[in-house]
Chain A
Amino acid sequence: MAAKTDYAEVPVIAPGHSYASVTDKVSGVILTKKTPKGWLLGFGIAFLFMMLMLFSLTVLFAKGVGVWGLNNTVAWGFAIVNFVWWVGIGHAGTLISAILLLFRQEWRSSINRFAEAMTIFAVANAGLFPIIHTGRPWLAYWLFPYPSMLKLWPQFRSPLLWDVFAISTYVTISLLFWYLGLIPDFATLRDVADNKLVRRIYGIMALGWRGAARHWSQYNRASLLLAALATPLVVSVHSVVSFDFAVGSVPGWHTTFLPPYFVSGAIFSGFAMVITLAIPIRKFYHMEDFITDRHLENMAKIMLATGLIVFYAYIMEVFFAWYSGNHYEKFMIYNRMTGPYAPFYWALIFFNGVMPQLLWFKKVRRTTWMLFPIAIGVNIGMWLERFIIVVTSLHREFQPATWAHYAGTFWDWSLYIGTLGFFATLLFLFLRSMPMINMFEMKELIHHVSHRGKEH
């Protein structure tokens, strides 16, 4: 069969690797004394942008949300767009670490670690936006139910509060899952490091892990359970995010298909981000043996599949606006396609709907210079999609007297670009201090692959 020869062509791990070579290759990145010049340069740039984020936040806190482009009509702007975009990006990491684990997709082993890291850093950014969007972030703890002097409780019937619970559960579980996966690898770093201080630091983080069979047994069971818990969780998170819109009676938001549409869009944008990061990382650290073209191809396939679901949702949006016979819904779609934000709408259709169709070709899926721009395009397209959803529905709501225009100000953009810097800064620190590839799972993979070879 054609599919089988493909697998033989591009393996999930290049041949000739042993348990020791995997360990040395992955831990060598961290334990080397020489920090690569490229890393320093990249970190420096990312750090500057992180400073831009802190500067924008300072201005925001000093002057208030008036520095943003919000007005009475469009009260949800960049903050909500960025929130939804960042949460969505996080979803790919959980999908790779949880759902693909449950489906026993072995190829996930080499990409799950940094995809999970990406999840945590993306959700950290996402969590920032609703907090600052409240206008008085120092009172953000009011969102949590605690017996306060005010005697009031948060409104449990509101999707906005569901969001608080969904996002905080998501970030907690992702962080714990990630740390659990890191423990055996921290033990490896503790054991292979020569420097005493480095050994001590990783030793503390490894908690005394010694690879005992009983511990592995418990550990494997716990990982499967966590995967089984994280799978419905990740689906619930973006569903709850979509409830923020779907429960409101605004044209374009008030639809039942929003949860699956948001979840597939989240996975779509998340895989685009994983591909965007994986291509330069594997090139820079020479990890082509572990992150092979097969990984890129598989991720491209998932991107194509979820992209088709998203494109289908775009078409259904138009169809139901017409089929509902609802005046406001029809106008909303008409306004999206021809109104002041029409270029954004058509750009997102191009980036999310049309351009990914190139992924039907195997050559495109396997050629990094073709795949990379498509992934970047999807990142942009998904941001535009959230912008269109949030802004076009609001700026032409029911009453023409309240119609208004919305555009991000300098501080909107600087904060958004700053969070990209924050994300990149965390990612650079992660690459330098933690194993970017799950070493023990790669060794397990080598073990399985060698067995499979014997059977044939």
Chain B
Amino acid sequence: MMSESLYGLMAKFNSPEEVLAATRAARDEGYRAMEAYSPFPVEGLDELLDYKPTIQYWVLIGGIVGAITGFALQYYASVISYPIIIGGRPFNSWPAFIIIIFELTILFAGITAVFGTLGLSGFPMPYHSVFNVEDFRQVSRDKFFLCIESQDPKFDANRTRAFLESMNPEDVTEVKP
């Protein structure tokens, strides 16, 4: 079968409106394994692709871990490891610990946000099939792409190409795996 030697078929568009329309049409046709590429975030594409970001849950966990770390660190150091009376304060003088708890909450949550979003998107990724398309270089400049992947059960090299060409793209290219 021809589709096995293909990653997918990629159509190139000139505007965010065109790629949105094409993605919507592809979705109506029943395609699911596809991805749209754009030089800047285009509102609505992720919904058409049934994608919901999950990073917020990770960030919440990161923040909670940070807060617990902040308190545990100060409690351990001030109460368990080396209790020493400073200014007549109790060993567990938690109001004075709030600021470091706060800072570590932000630190852990922020680190999770950055590395989490990179990790969830699979970065760093040294190789990806879409880069085999010569024109794909324009994706970060001013072109918009829709790639229907060959792993989609509805994918058929000829019919999918005919569908993509009906969306008035600049061109349709095969993506080598």
Contact = CB atoms under 8 A, between A and B. Distances in A.
Interface in A10-68: 18-20, 23
A218 B140 CA distance: 17
B153 interface: no
Interface in B8-40: 16, 23, 35-40
A391 to B, nearest CB: 26
A176 B110 contact: yes
A233 B121 CA distance: 26
Given A172-B111, A188-B141, A191-B138, A225 B103 contact: no
A222 B117 contact: yes
Contact of B128 (A184, A210, A441): A210
Contact of B125 (A166, A207, A447): A207
Nearest to A236: B102
Given A161-B100, A169-B106, A173-B106, A225 B113 contact: yes
B122 to A, nearest CB: 8
B46 A213 contact: yes
A157 interface: yes
A363 interface: no
Nearest to B108: A169
Given A156-B74, A208-B126, A213-B36, A20 B41 contact: no
Q: How large is the interface on B (under 10, 10 to 19, 20 to 34, 35 or more residues)?
A: 35 or more
B111 A176 contact: yes
Contacts, number: 197
B53 A218 contact: yes
Contacts of B78: 153, 156
A153 B107 CA distance: 21
B51 A214 contact: yes
A423 to B, nearest CB: 24
Q: Identify whether the interface residues of A are mostly helix, strand, loop, or mixed.
A: helix
A210 B37 contact: yes
B162 interface: no
B74 to A, nearest CB: 5
A158 B16 CA distance: 54
A220 B46 CA distance: 11
Contact of B49 (A145, A213, A220): A213
B164 interface: no
Given A211-B38, A213-B38, A218 B82 contact: no
Nearest to A188: B140
Interface in B104-163: 104, 106-107, 109-111, 113-114, 116-118, 120-121, 123-128, 130-131, 136-142
B68 interface: no
Given A188-B141, A213-B45, A216-B38, A236 B53 contact: no
B107 A169 contact: yes
25 contacts: A20-B141, A23-B140, A23-B142, A152-B82, A156-B78, A157-B93, A162-B103, A165-B104, A177-B110, A208-B127, A210-B128, A212-B36, A214-B35, A214-B51, A214-B121, A217-B53, A218-B55, A218-B121, A221-B117, A222-B59, A229-B106, A229-B109, A229-B113, A233-B110, A440-B39
Interface of A: 18-20, 23, 145, 147, 151-157, 161-162, 165-166, 169, 172-173, 176-177, 179-180, 184, 187-188, 190-192, 207-222, 225-226, 229-230, 232-233, 236, 240, 243, 440-441, 443-444, 447
Interface of B: 16, 23, 35-42, 45-46, 49, 51-56, 59, 73-74, 77-78, 81-82, 86-87, 89, 93, 96-97, 99-100, 102-104, 106-107, 109-111, 113-114, 116-118, 120-121, 123-128, 130-131, 136-142
